[in-house]
Structure formats: structure tokens, C-alpha cells
Amino acid sequence: MNGKKGSFEINIPSIPKAKMPGNGKKSSGDDTAFFSCKVWIWNVWEFCKEDSNRVVFSLKVGLAVLLVSLLILFQAPYKVFGTNIIWSILTVAIVFEYTVGATFNRGFNRALGSLLAGILAIGVAQLALSTGRVAEPFVIGISIFLIGTVTSFMKLWPSLVPYEYGFRVILFTYCLIIVSGYRMGNPIKTSMDRLYSIAIGGIVAVLVNVLILPIWAGEQLHKELVASFNAVADSLEECVRKYLQDDGSDHPEFSKTVMDEFPDEPAYRKCRTTLNSSAKLESLANSAKWEPPHGRFRHFFYPWSEYVKVGTVLRYCAYEVMALHGVLHSEIQAPYNLRITFQKEIQDATTQAAELVRSLGKDVSNMKRTLKTALLKRVHSSTEQLQRAIDMHSYLLTSNYEPSDSSKPLPKLSHTLSSTLYDLSNQLAELDKTDLDQTLNLTNQNPPPPQTESYHEMMRKQSRRLHSWPSREVDAFEEEGSFSADIMIPRMKALESTAALSLATFTSLLIEFVARLDHLVESVDELSRMAKFEHEGL
């Protein structure tokens, strides 16, 4: 066996120097050991402070096993229960889970599994006894083989996978009862004793778990969902901010970034965690269903599965954020001066959308039900403004200028056209003072090269570009035939002229994100309705 996996290494995450106790100037052997010990204690302390439930859980497990052990350590209960009580200890160790719901679930699996196994074992044992002394071991052996095969097969069946542990319990409890019954006689007494002690263990585990500072899966699920809302909103804002801030000078290679942790983008990493949290939400919801009404979740049949549904819709929104992030770190990039043309509109739409997502998260968090109509409309109108702005200046995206040198301002601007645009802006100002004025003013600050040349001029340009292409891309083809021993992986070249379309992609994805928000609002509303959140402002 490979020993590498067996070493219980603790990866100590790097801690900012300022936070560390001591300054570690001396570097003698003893000091280093002392220092690393201090760091270790510091880490454990931080880990506990991060979530005090961890300490609570650990102490509760200790208490539960202690309570069960007392039944053996004290003379009086030991006389009643005998050595079978060690099964209680096993049960506590196996049944005790982090949350109340998960403990109930496991306890149920163990209880039902033991019960079924006990009934089966008693039945088969009676049958084996009636077949006589010679046939008995054969009947028992065959029954063990059959139970082993059937339970193992059943736990592979997709809809029974959640009960995997129950099938394990059936298998070993059955074997234990029937085999010890065969050797010690009286299988009914054996199984009853075992069930007693398992029941005691289960009851102790459940009581300690529920009565002493319970950790509810429902509460965890609730918090997890609220945190996801905030993660998506933060990540959206961070992504857009970086897109608009980026001066286009430092585009790290995709290969370096695709697998990267993006240390400068904490919100993105949180959002990516949200994408992978579907299994966590589901298992929490699964556990929460087992919990009685508690704390803020006071009515029976609380719609925990709705939380998972909201989480799924939120994840579909997060997919768009991932795509936006993909554009941000894409190799094909619109030049900076083009990107900031729509800065205000993009920023507006983003801020509104993030605010809506956060407000939804806050509503869920406070268990309030508020009307989102006004907020939604504001998001829509700012998105529509963005669409209008793009629509008006869509010729920018067709990029008849050369955007390769992004540090220069947009070229080829004739003064006449600029002033024409300005005139138009004055004429149109009365139409929609708030929206269009800003749009056009912004355009004047970063005036685009309008596509108003004659048709022939345009075609001449295009034909010139066509001429220039083969020479620009010839290196992509020149190695076609040569197979060098060292494998050469050619890089894809983006035509510079299509780079501008990357901005179109970014805004389209942003608009699609907003479009999906409708469904997020709907699903949160459905949750509020089913969970009977308090109605506010009506």
C-alpha cells in the first residue's frame, strides 16, 4: 500500500505576517519548532473562531460517548444490560452526525435496518432449526450469501442510493444475529438484546444532539442560500469592475489563468464555490426534511426543497457570471477605449442587477416577502438603456478602425462628424432628457468612427484587409507538414477586427443575466409563498 496517503499532514494555510504571534527573528532549531507550534495553535484557534459550531459538535460527541460508557462503567446498569451495551457505543459513534437532520436520518437508517435484519434473522434461524442439525449451517450460509448479494445490489439502484448505509446495517446486523444465534442458541434473545442496546445508543445520540445547542440543517441551508445570493452579486460587480478598469496592458495567458485560483478575485472564487454547492444544498435539504419545526422555521412540512430550486435558478444566473468572467479573461479582447464607451450603461445595469440579487438574498435572510416590482423595473430600464446605447453605436462593434493599439484614442475622427453628432444630441435631448443625453454625451467624450464612408470606400478597405490577411496569418500554416519530435501546439489567432465583438458578447451576457433575474425573482416569490414568509408593505 502506498504510504503517502496515510501521512496525516495538516496543510497550514499561509497566514499574513502581521497576524502571526511572535516575529520569528531567531531561527535556531528549538525556536522554529516552538514557532511552528504557535502557528499551528493559531490556525486551530482561527478554525474554531470561524464557526464555533465545530467546537460544540466535538464536545457533544465526547459527551454522548461518555454517557453511553457510563452504562458500563457503573455497576448498576451493567448488571441490567451486560456486555451487549458495547453496541450502544458503536451506534453512537456511527449515528452521531453534524446536524440534527442528518443524525435523525442516520438513526432512522440504523433503526429500520436493524429491525428488518432482526426479523429476517429470526425467521431464517427458525427455518434453519427446523431443517435439522446437518442442514442448518448450509441454510444459514446460503441465506448469508443471498442477503449479502441482494443488499449490495439494491444499494446500487439509483433511487435507493441515499439509503446505502441502511443496507450496510441490514447486512452486518443480519450476519451478526444469525451467526451468534447459531453458536449461542436463542437467536430471538440475541437479536432483542442487540436491538435494545442499539436503541439506547440511538436515543442517547439523538437526545444529546437535539437538546444541547442543536445544529439544525435547516438553519445551515438557509444561511448557505443567502450567502450564495451575496456571492453571485459580489462576483458580478467584481467582474464588471475589472472589465471596465482593465487598461488592456496586462492580459495574462489563458493557460495561466484557466486553472488559476484568481487570488485577486475573492468574489469570483466564492461564486465558483456556489456553482459546486448543488450537492451540499441537496444533502442539507435532505437532512432538513427530517427535522421538527424549530427556531424561525415554525410550521410543519416547511418547503426545504424550494430552497434547492431557488439555488438551482441562482446557479443558472451564476453560469452567466462565469461566462462574463470567461470574456474578462479571454484572449480575444475588445480594446479598452471601446469598452469604456458604454461604461456608464454597463455600470448602471450591473449595479441595479446586483442590488436586486442582494435584496432578494436579504428578503430570504429576514424571511420577509416584499414586492420586487419596482426594483425589477429599474433593472429592466437600465438594461434597456444599455441596449439602446449599443443599438445606437452598434457600428462601433463592426470595427472599421484598427483596434490593435488600444492605448491610442479612437482614430479617424473627423471634426465635422463629431459636431454633427453633437447637434443631433441637442436635437434629441428633449425626447428623453435623462437617458439619451447621457448616452450621447458619453459618446462625444469617446467619439466613435462612424461608418459613413461611401460604399466603394468601404469595399476598398475590406478588399485591402483581405489582401493583408494571408500575410498576417501565414505563420499559422507554414508548419503544416513538418512534424518535429517536440510537439508544437499552435496557438489560435484571433482576428483583431473581431475583437470588438467581444464587447458585444460581454454586454449580451450581462443582458441575459438580467433576463434570468426574472426567474430568480419568481422562484424566490414561490419560496416566500410556500414558506409563508411575512408579507411586508402590502
- Looking at residues 138 to 197 of the shown chain, list those that interact with its own copies (rule: CB under 8 A): 140-141, 144-153, 156-160, 163, 168, 171-172, 175-176, 179-180, 182-184
Residue 534 φ then ψ, to 5°:
-65, 135
Supply the minimum distance, in Å, between the C-beta of residue 27 and its own copies: 26
Would you state the cell numbers that stand for residue 350, as one nine-digit string? 450591473
Report the C-alpha gap between 373 and 199 in whole angstroms. Answer: 53
Supply the minimum distance, in Å, between the C-beta of residue 456 and its own copies: 9
Residue 445 φ then ψ, to 5°:
-65, -35
Report the C-alpha gap between 363 and 357 in whole angstroms. Answer: 10
Among 343, 347, 365, 387, binds its own copies (CB under 8 A): 387
Residues for the chain: how many in total? 538
Report the C-alpha gap between 141 and 135 in whole angstroms. Answer: 10
Among 491, 532, 534, 536, binds its own copies (CB under 8 A): 491
Element (H, E) at 534: strand 534-535
**Residue 270 interacts with its own copies (CB under 8 A)?**
no
Report the C-alpha gap between 276 and 274 in whole angstroms. Answer: 5
- Judged by CB, which is closer to its own copies: 26, or 66? 66
Among 5, 19, 79, 133, binds its own copies (CB under 8 A): 5
Question: Contacts with its own copies in 397-456 (CB under 8 A)?
Answer: 397-399, 417, 420, 424, 427-428, 431-432, 436, 450-452, 454-455
- Judged by CB, which is closer to its own copies: 69, or 351? 69
What residues does 369 pair with on adjacent strands?
535
Among 30, 250, 264, 391, binds its own copies (CB under 8 A): 391
Segment near its own copies (CB under 8 A); pick from 218-226, 237-245, 354-362, 500-508: 500-508
Question: Contacts with its own copies in 285-344 (CB under 8 A)?
Answer: 289-290, 309, 312-313, 316, 319-320, 322-323, 326-327, 330-332
Specify whether the CB–CB gap between 119 and 142 falls below 8 A. Answer: no
Question: Contacts with its own copies in 87-146 (CB under 8 A)?
Answer: 89-90, 93-94, 96, 98, 104-105, 108, 112, 137, 140-141, 144-146
Among 102, 521, 527, 531, binds its own copies (CB under 8 A): 521
- Judged by CB, which is closer to its own copies: 93, or 530? 93
The DSSP code sequence of 270-291 is: HHHHHHTTHHHHHHHHHHHTTS
**Residue 262 interacts with its own copies (CB under 8 A)?**
no
Helix axes 100-130, 187-211, angle to 10 degrees: 180
Report the C-alpha gap between 65 and 215 in whole angstroms. Answer: 18
Q: Give 103-146 as a 3 state SS string.
A: HHHHHHHHHHHHHHHHHHHHHHHHHHHHCCCCCHHHHHHHHHHH
**Residue 477 interacts with its own copies (CB under 8 A)?**
yes
Supply the minimum distance, in Å, between the C-beta of residue 34 and its own copies: 22
- Judged by CB, which is closer to its own copies: 119, or 424? 424
Size of the site for its own copies (CB under 8 A): 172
Helix axes 136-154, 164-184, angle to 10 degrees: 170
**Residue 487 interacts with its own copies (CB under 8 A)?**
yes
Would you state the cell numbers that stand for residue 158, as one nine-digit string? 439509483
**Residue 41 interacts with its own copies (CB under 8 A)?**
no
**Residue 384 interacts with its own copies (CB under 8 A)?**
yes
- Judged by CB, which is closer to its own copies: 222, or 272? 272
**Residue 380 interacts with its own copies (CB under 8 A)?**
yes
Question: Contacts with its own copies in 200-229 (CB under 8 A)?
Answer: none
With cell 432628457, the residue in question is: 433
Amino acid, res. 502 = S
What residues does 534 pair with on adjacent strands?
368
- Judged by CB, which is closer to its own copies: 13, or 29? 13
Question: Contacts with its own copies in 9-38 (CB under 8 A)?
Answer: 9-11
Residues in Cβ contact with 88 at an 8 Å cutoff, skipping those fewer than 6 apart: 68, 71, 197, 198, 200, 201, 204
For CA atoms 489, 491, 492, 493, the dihedral sign is: negative
Supply the minimum distance, in Å, between the C-beta of residue 111 and its own copies: 9
